[in-house]
Structure 1
Amino acid sequence: MTRPKRGAVRFENVRKDFGGFTAIPDLTLDIEPGQLVTLLGPSGCGKTTTLRMLAGLESPTQGRILIGGEDVTRLPANRRDVSMVFQSYALFPHMSVADNVAYGLESGGMKRAEAHAAAENGLELVGLAGLGRRLPSELSGGQQQRVAVARALVLEPQVLLLDEPLSNLDARLRRRVRTEIRDLQQRLGFTAVYVTHDQEEALAVSDRIVVMKDGRIEQSGSPRELYDAPASEFIADFIGEANVMAAEVLSVNGTEADVSISGITVTVPARAARPGPSKVAARANAITVTPQSDAPFPGRVLSSAYLGDHVEYEIETASGPLFVLDSEGETPLPAGTSVAIGFRPRGLALIS
């Protein structure tokens, strides 16, 4: 097995209809070679349909799909030069790990000895050297996931597709395996398209995140760009659970803007803002609460929850309810406490 290829992907004005329902109205998207790009969004946003069209499991109603510069729009799945890792891993329980990894190669006509040599190489790439004789049931969930990745990689695809690959793992294992997938992708440099509805997962593994809504791209960018500079209220709430509040842009000075939020003035990135009414997205950890009965921006604790390294608050204010994460307070403020609302410098963004 050679090192994985690095194919570019392009969706060119792609539309997908299911009867009278349009799942993807008009999608144009470029994925650079060697990038891990995550399609993220709520259920029904079109991310899985997009992945299935790339895999050749669905045909677009119109438009073109290119892989490595080749138009594959009408090619069947087995001629797409892509491999897919499914939610369920789809390992054969009665076959050894090595047989599972070699299966696709043997099905394609490769001699058994050559296929198993490639399988052992693939298992070594994903850190499972020496485990080829075991059955899948003798491996942990994370190891089974890596077997599925090895099985896909030995086919030497231009693009690796991962469809909700961590959905069957518990929370702790999910964190570890997502790190392993990211480390593997960076080490080998293959192109990957990753589908998930989990925002934290997308932030952890991606070079670039494409957030979809109603079959359209709502925003695309690096994890930091989407978290620090959401383009809309939807993105602000979907990526990292932000509080959206009415604000007034007082002045713009180059790249910064002075903004009033319920009487408190803060400085935030200008993002082409103009003086006048606007909205600010405030991350939960960018809001401070201190006990105070008379404050410029008052609030009242509705509920609090101690979660070890931080306290979660629901705060009632004249601007609406706020969700706050306080990592500095050791003792939760009880419900009914009057508080003063403040803001930390990072975690505030103007949105349209």
Structure 2
Amino acid sequence: MNTGSVVFEHVSKRFAGFTALPDLSLTVEPGTLVTLLGPSGCGKTTTLRLLAGLEHPTSGRILIGGKDVTHLPANERDVAMVFQSYALFPHMTALDNIMYGLLSSGINKREAQDRARNGLKLVGLEHQGARLPSELSGGQQQRIAVARALVLEPQVLLLDEPLSNLDERLRRRVRTDIRDLQQRLGFTAVYVTHDQEEALAVSDKIIVMKEGDIAQQGAPESLYLTPNSVFIADFMGEANILPCEVEQVEGSEALVRLGSQRYRVRHTAAKTGSAQLSVRPQFITLCQQNGGALRGEVTHSTWLGDHIEYEVATELGSLFIVDAQMEQQHPLATPVAIDFKPQGLALIAG
């Protein structure tokens, strides 16, 4: 499959009285799925629209497969887009929807039919070609939209919040389908979402955006376990931010005192002295009262079937804890001791 890289070189985009992207530079390697992640208004959708040719930059360059496409219209960019609304024609069958873009590009009907049928096979819907969109589930409609884009054999596939209209269980299944398809075919994809779990599940690399800039980028595990700021720690899932003391720095690890205990933790740019620690709630344990790094008292407890969520008041502040131990639920006002698993701790800059 035809696949290409994406490069933004100092791209800015200004609207009347508003700068959406002040100075954006990023690279998407060929054959990778890169997710643009961030809250509403962070610039991720503007970035995707610039790449698609639906908007044009105020300054800077955009390259696809090494070719400067900055001023090219959308139909000359060799990209295809999957929209959150599916954008299927309701009066056309699934097969005809997939064929539409091929016929519009001048391909003869027989070849368009063959490629469309192959597209149906790619997404596991080879027996659904005669159905109308109204006769398909939401997940099937989204897979038809993906097939319609893929049969055009673009250098880059763009996905704009593709799962936002699906329920939670269906989102998990379709995101797995998209990821498996991308890895099997090896195409380049740029994926936009505001859902952190979705980004962690599908991405080779995540680019977290904030106010038009890149806050942090890297592999999903790296961003989750080694956030470089309070914003990233809090945005990439739940995190407790606690004060700590850095006693020693050795390479990529630091010796940190938290409460009465010391831990070796990851960091991006640590210095000795007072610091802040990101603590993931599922890496906090409740233990016997005579152990642990901190003492606390349960102020809130919620049983959720496969885990229990606690809020515990401590001398360092309130802690949110996700406990997979289901045999015993600690009632309100119970005194507890708290300990931390080092793999869930990371020093952050601020």
TM-score normalised over the length of structure 1: 0.96
Distance 1:279 1:45 in 2: 25
Counterpart contact for 1:252–1:270, Cα < 8 Å: no
Helix, strand or coil at the partner of 2:71: coil
Q: Which of 105, 110, 114 does residue 108 from structure 1 map onto?
A: 105
Tell me how far 1:254 sits from its aligned partner: 4.4
Helix, strand or coil at the partner of 1:146: helix
Other-structure match for 1:326:
323
Other-structure match for 1:138:
135
Tell me how far 1:302 sits from its aligned partner: 1.2
The answer to whether the aligner puts 1:344 opposite 2:338 as a matched pair is no
Counterpart contact for 1:291–1:337, Cα < 8 Å: no
Which amino acid in structure 2 is aligned with residue 122 of structure 1?
G
Which amino acid in structure 1 is aligned with residue 271 of structure 2?
R
Distance 1:257 1:102 in 2: 57
The answer to whether the aligner puts 1:207 opposite 2:204 as a matched pair is yes
Distance 1:299 1:101, change over 3 A: same
Other-structure match for 1:70:
67
Tell me how far 1:161 sits from its aligned partner: 0.2
Other-structure match for 1:97:
94
Distance 1:134 1:295 in 2: 60
Other-structure match for 2:235:
238
Other-structure match for 1:13:
10
Which amino acid in structure 1 is aligned with residue 206 of structure 2?
I
Distance 1:174 1:292 in 2: 42
> When the two structures are aligned, how many residues end up with a matched partner?
349
Tell me how far 1:272 sits from its aligned partner: 4.4
Distance 2:251 2:291 in 1: 35
Other-structure match for 1:218:
215
Per mean C-alpha deviation after superposition, the further-off stretch among 291-300 and 240-249 is 291-300
Distance 1:324 1:32, change over 3 A: same
Superposed, 1:24-173 pairs within 5 Å as 24-173=21-170
Counterpart contact for 2:292–2:339, Cα < 8 Å: no
Distance 1:270 1:102, change over 3 A: closer
Per mean C-alpha deviation after superposition, the further-off stretch among 129-138 and 218-227 is 129-138
Tell me how far 1:157 sits from its aligned partner: 0.6
Tell me how far 1:270 sits from its aligned partner: 4.9
Distance 2:269 2:14 in 1: 37
1:193-212 Cα shifts (integer Å, max 9, x gaps) = 00000000000000000000
Which amino acid in structure 2 is aligned with residue 95 of structure 1?
M
Helix, strand or coil at the partner of 1:339: strand
Counterpart contact for 1:293–1:339, Cα < 8 Å: no
After superposition, the CA RMSD in angstroms is 1.5
Q: Which runs of 5+ in 1 are unaligned?
A: none
Which amino acid in structure 2 is aligned with residue 247 of structure 1?
C
Distance 1:33 1:295, change over 3 A: closer
Which amino acid in structure 2 is aligned with residue 345 of structure 1?
P
1:14-37 Cα shifts (integer Å, max 9, x gaps) = 001111111101000010000000
Tell me how far 1:112 sits from its aligned partner: 1.8
Per mean C-alpha deviation after superposition, the further-off stretch among 16-25 and 203-212 is 16-25
Tell me how far 1:264 sits from its aligned partner: 2.3
Per mean C-alpha deviation after superposition, the further-off stretch among 7-16 and 335-344 is 335-344
Superposed, 1:258-297 pairs within 5 Å as 258-290=255-287, 292=289, 297=294
Counterpart contact for 1:123–1:132, Cα < 8 Å: yes
Counterpart contact for 2:293–2:340, Cα < 8 Å: no
1:119-148 Cα shifts (integer Å, max 9, x gaps) = 111111221113211111222221111100
Which amino acid in structure 1 is aligned with residue 5 of structure 2?
A
Tell me how far 1:296 sits from its aligned partner: 5.4
Per mean C-alpha deviation after superposition, the further-off stretch among 265-274 and 101-110 is 265-274
Show structure 1 runs of 4+ deviating over 4 A. Answer: 293-296
Distance 1:161 1:294, change over 3 A: closer
Distance 1:332 1:47 in 2: 42
Helix, strand or coil at the partner of 2:317: coil
Helix, strand or coil at the partner of 1:280: strand
Per mean C-alpha deviation after superposition, the further-off stretch among 261-270 and 115-124 is 261-270
Counterpart contact for 1:279–1:351, Cα < 8 Å: yes
Distance 1:344 1:162 in 2: 37
Distance 1:59 1:346, change over 3 A: same
Which amino acid in structure 2 is aligned with residue 170 of structure 1?
D
1:304-331 Cα shifts (integer Å, max 9, x gaps) = 1111111101112222221100112423
Counterpart contact for 2:285–2:339, Cα < 8 Å: yes
Helix, strand or coil at the partner of 1:324: strand
